[in-house]
Structure 1
Amino acid sequence: MALQTQKMTLRSSGNLPIALVLLVGGALLWLRAAQRTPGALALLPGVDGCMTAGIVGVLLALLHGIPYRTALLSAALPIALVQLLASELAGFSFLPVLGIELTAFGLFGLPLSRLPRRRRAATTRSLHAAHPSPS
């Protein structure tokens, strides 16, 4: 029976451009929204809760080992669509919320693109060694 071994590999360098685009794009969105309307960053409690759920949801996904791109697509995208719908129904601008979330996601991605991660090697088990045939 083979033992599981762990191998150190570097994370994909493709995460760094994604993180930088999210960070810069998010910062520009909420700065632009703040320049347009002075009270644009004063969030309603429901919108603030949705934004917190989006950021914490992605953070929890990352802490559980889900890759950065998958966490963005599987956790952040559905929550952002619900936020967009809720902000349209409430008559609230979605740009500050999206900008703050994208900035947070970019900040999460910067260290993730450079930190090493542990990757489990494939295990091979012999069925014959574990259960010998009676013949």
Structure 2
Amino acid sequence: MKPGRPERPWRVGLGTRARREGRTAEWVAALFLMSRGYRILGFRLKAAGGEIDLLARRGRVLAVVEVKRRATLDAALVALKPAQQARLLAAGRAVARGRPGLAGLALRLDMVALAPGRWPRHIRGLRSRD
């Protein structure tokens, strides 16, 4: 808590719930990708440029996967902005440089969109538009 600010315990509860839901969404996305032949190499990887929700590999493709969970699938699909896409690609390049076993793989930015009551949607090969 910052000095001079009243304590707001309800905000702490919201943050805790959001983190828990985010981690659950990442596991759902990972299981979904694994059912489609991807091997999950890491969760919540911190790298120059940002945090990668999932790092996955399938064949010669190294996928930086952003997981978005929203109230509707449409809202999740538009939640990944161009600036974040560029940061995630930079983070993916940094991680790949630091792991010799990933050299020579084609880096790709993917997204798994999640919404209650809907099947996950995997969008492959997003392109940064900035």
TM-score norm. by structure 1 comes to 0.30
Tell me: higher relative CO, structure 1 or 2? Use CA pairs within 8 A at least 6 residues apart. 1
Structure having the larger proportion of residues in helix: 1
| Larger radius of gyration between Structure 1 and Structure 2 | 1
Structure having the larger proportion of residues in strand: 2
